[in-house]
């Protein structure tokens, strides 16, 4: 499965944000920050990674749908992403 360039850019941005958040979590743990703050930030990292994964899957689904028999117009990436998120 290949992902179009625009979607890949969005995925990479989300992953970079998650990378920065994860570095922040590590720094918080090393600094002895409150457990509640650490867990809150860790949850944000997890959501960011999930969203990146969903974006990749949604983009791949869109590509598959656009090569279908053409009976209905292909769904947009946002529609597919929303549909996929409903499963989670």
**Is 90 exceeded by the pLDDT of residue 11?**
no
Q: How many domains does the chain have?
A: 1
Q: Taking a C-beta distance cutoff of 8 angstroms, is the pair 14, 52 a contact? A: yes
Which tens digit of pLDDT belongs to each residue from 45-70? Answer: 998 888 888 887 777 766 666 655 55
User: Which residues 6+ apart lie within 8 Å of 30 measured at CB?
Assistant: none
User: Which residues 6+ apart lie within 8 Å of 38 measured at CB?
Assistant: 25, 28, 29
**Is 50 exceeded by the pLDDT of residue 1?**
no
Q: What is the CATH number of the domain that holds 53?
A: 1.20.58.1000
Please tell me the pTM assigned to this model. 0.65
Alpha-carbon separation of residue 62 from 20, 45, 75, 81 (angstroms):
29, 26, 7, 9
**Domain, as residue range, for 71:** 5-87
Percent of the chain with pLDDT over 70: 76
């Amino acid at each position: 499965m290949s992902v179009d360039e625009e979607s890949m850019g969005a995925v990479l941005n989300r992953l970079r944000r998650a990378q920065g958040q994860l570095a922040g979590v590590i720094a918080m743990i090393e600094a002895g920050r409150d457990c509640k703050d650490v867990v809150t930030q860790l949850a944000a990292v997890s959501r960011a990674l999930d969203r990146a994964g969903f974006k990749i899957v949604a983009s791949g689904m869109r590509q598959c749908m656009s090569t279908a028999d053409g009976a209905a117009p292909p769904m947009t990436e946002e529609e597919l992403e929303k549909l996929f998120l409903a499963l989670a």
